[in-house]
Chain A
Amino acid sequence: MTTPDGRQTQGLTLGKDELLHLYRQMVQIRRFEERAAEQYAHGKIGGFLHLYIGEEAVAVGAISAKEPQDHVITHYRDHGYAVALGIDPRLLMAELFGRATGIVGGRGGSMHFADAERKFWGGYAIVAGHLPIAVGLALASQYLEQNYVVLCFFGDGATNNGAFHEALNFASLWKLPVLFICENNQYGMGTHVEYASAVPEMARKAAAYDIPAARVDGQDVLVMRDAVKQALDHCRAGHGPFFLEALTYRFRGHSMADPEAYRSKEEVEQRRREDPIIRFRDKLLAEGVTTAEELDQIDTEVDQQMDEAVRFADESPVPDPATLTEGVYAEPVAAR
């Protein structure tokens, strides 16, 4: 599939429309996150805000490779997947603003986007807590012969939690159709992998459970897409789980409150030179797929779209207080 160092280059086998779509989605995520950071600074967004800036190629590449019936479940750094799934950015921004029009009605906020219709089972904020859930969704697929694969995203930090190991063991033991996508961005909050994981390659952890694995360049959207396509084929064919380690990097702090004392400016600067969007843009231009004007036009359109998302969020009503206690249970409760 891919070389162990994850440095495979991909020919541009996709059509122009598809390539530009991938580009647009990455820019959408970038701009969405930039707007979110601005609005956080203005006090329109509260609590935790974990930005996906720098990791766009992972979500966009992976999600572009899935079939419509496939499911997605993620950790709390979840904006990128939601955008890549095509969810209206207005609903996502409104969620960050805590508005009634938000994707989960203002109840979840940044860490808990979800869209059941798209089989996007949500962002979860207890590290590794969603891995067993992902395996359960895969169990349902196998049991009901549904032919969907579950794409489960999580960070390098999550691989050190017990839930990760229990989930992988189950997935392999029962040959369940789940694709584990570990975004190795080198840090769990402020702790470098070196201080958190006995092995620096997350993919090696899959070997303990006999799950085939690969490391891929998560900063290259086409490499990502191709790797996920092949991995999904494996899962869909009934061979059980697959494990992909996407090598990536977050350009911003862990959350908005992070002073980033644990890494140097030089390190961040250097990684920023591998900006996945610029890399893809350069490639599209170098291969003559499109012109700078055409790409600039996309940038402008996305800018307008995100301005509109902010405006929509800002003008949306806050949740009706009368709804506060609705939905604690799925069925009515009579007792007082």
Chain B
Amino acid sequence: MAREITYRDALREALREEMDRDERVFLMGEDIGAYGGSYVVTRGFLEQYGRKRVRDTPISELAIVGLANGAAMGGLRPVVELMTINFSLLAMDQIVNHAAKIHYMFNRQISVPVVIRTASGWGQLGATHSQTFEAWYAHVPGLRVVMPATPKDAKGFLKSAIRGQDPVMFIEHSLIYRNRGEVPDGEYLLPLEGAEVRREGTDVTIVSWSRGYYLALGAAEELARDGIEAEVIDMRVLRPLDIDTVVRSVQKTNRLVIVEESWRTLGMGAEIAAAVQEHAFDYLDAPIARVGSVEVPMPYAKNLERLVIPGKDEVVAAVHELLRRDVAVAR
């Protein structure tokens, strides 16, 4: 049996179940209590669990994550909320120089089971509030980086992240909190690894994650009307990166388009493209295409913002362009 719930409710269920299961799990972040969370994920939690376990914090990102690291080392299970991924930059030192290092550097004596929930997203929020940095975190060994697209993944990943032994960057997206999807009834956990083929196709593989997955899916449906069958892969987890699933798909479709919301330069797409050509060079019938943001700080004006962020149309156009180049090569 399965139920249909929103992405937001999936997160709420995961947090509740884990807090009910384990007294050591607690929440910490800016405006998660009295305000209810900037994206309303923790509304009602303060009333239900009290101030000991739902901790409103000062605007002190570096210290929030630093305290979480220490609390985790001391035996707690902190789940931190950093309002948006833009503000995670203020905590970068604790995430990269501390959380990611301690287990290895101290020869496995100490682990740092911290979950850092944060959100990427945009919507006329301007240059400093519209970014996404999954690629920056995915660069770092020692971090697990997940970016679920569906309610099922959101819930299963969050529960596993809380129970796991490693620091996890858990990146949500402000524009998909209301998306609905099926989740299994009852308790379930999902391993924090593995991409998933969510739509089968033969002509081209479209790879994305988080909100980008919905763009890819929308594009695939539109392409199907023109008789083009796209295979759609949701990467789900960006570190460790499941390249094998992408390679297997490319071996079948011979063409790859990667859709990312961030700038293409040194983005996830660059890594995926490089890894795919290493493993499936002979299978590629066309250069790998990447659809990403225009490389500018995000402008506020709606018409300009729309030009910066890729939409479904850009994905469709990229596929058509790829097929055109493919034909040209064949000739």
A interface residues, Cβ below 8 angstroms from B: 46-48, 95, 98-99, 106-109, 111-112, 124-128, 157-158, 160-163, 188-192, 195-197, 258-259, 261-262, 318-319, 321, 324-325, 328
Tell me the number of A-to-B contacts counted with CB atoms below 8 Å: 127
The interface residues of chain A lying within 8 Å CB-to-CB of B295 are: 325, 328
Task: Assess the A191–B35 pair: CB atoms within 8 A.
Answer: yes
Task: Assess the A160–B60 pair: CB atoms within 8 A.
Answer: yes
The interface residues of chain A lying within 8 Å CB-to-CB of B124 are: 46-47, 98, 109
Segment among B162-170, B269-277, B299-307 that sits at the interface with chain A: B299-307
A106 to B58, CA, bound (A): 32
B interface: dominant SS: loop
Partner of A319 from the list B34, B63, B297, B299 (CB cut-off 8 Å) is: B299
Task: Assess the A107–B300 pair: CB atoms within 8 A.
Answer: yes
Task: Assess the B299–A107 pair: CB atoms within 8 A.
Answer: yes
Segment among B125-133, B150-158, B198-206, B322-330 that sits at the interface with chain A: B125-133
Query: Given A98-B124, A112-B126, A126-B128, does the pair A161, B60 have CB atoms closer than 8 Å?
Result: yes
Task: Assess the B58–A197 pair: CB atoms within 8 A.
Answer: yes
Task: Assess the B126–A191 pair: CB atoms within 8 A.
Answer: no
A99 to B124, CA, bound (A): 13
Q: B231 at interface (Cβ–Cβ under 8 A)?
A: no
Partner of B87 from the list A106, A126, A192 (CB cut-off 8 Å) is: A126
Task: Assess the A261–B34 pair: CB atoms within 8 A.
Answer: yes
A126 to B59, CA, bound (A): 10
The interface residues of chain A lying within 8 Å CB-to-CB of B123 are: 46-47
Kindly report which residue of chain B lies nearest to residue A100, judged by CB atoms: B301
The interface residues of chain B lying within 8 Å CB-to-CB of A324 are: 294, 296, 299, 304, 307-308
Task: Assess the B307–A98 pair: CB atoms within 8 A.
Answer: no
CB distance from B44 to the nearest CB of A (A): 10
16 more A-B contacts (CB under 8 A) besides A160-B59, A161-B58, A196-B56?
A: A47-B123, A47-B125, A47-B126, A106-B304, A112-B126, A126-B86, A127-B59, A160-B60, A161-B90, A188-B30, A189-B35, A189-B38, A190-B34, A191-B57, A324-B294, A324-B304
The interface residues of chain B lying within 8 Å CB-to-CB of A106 are: 299-301, 304
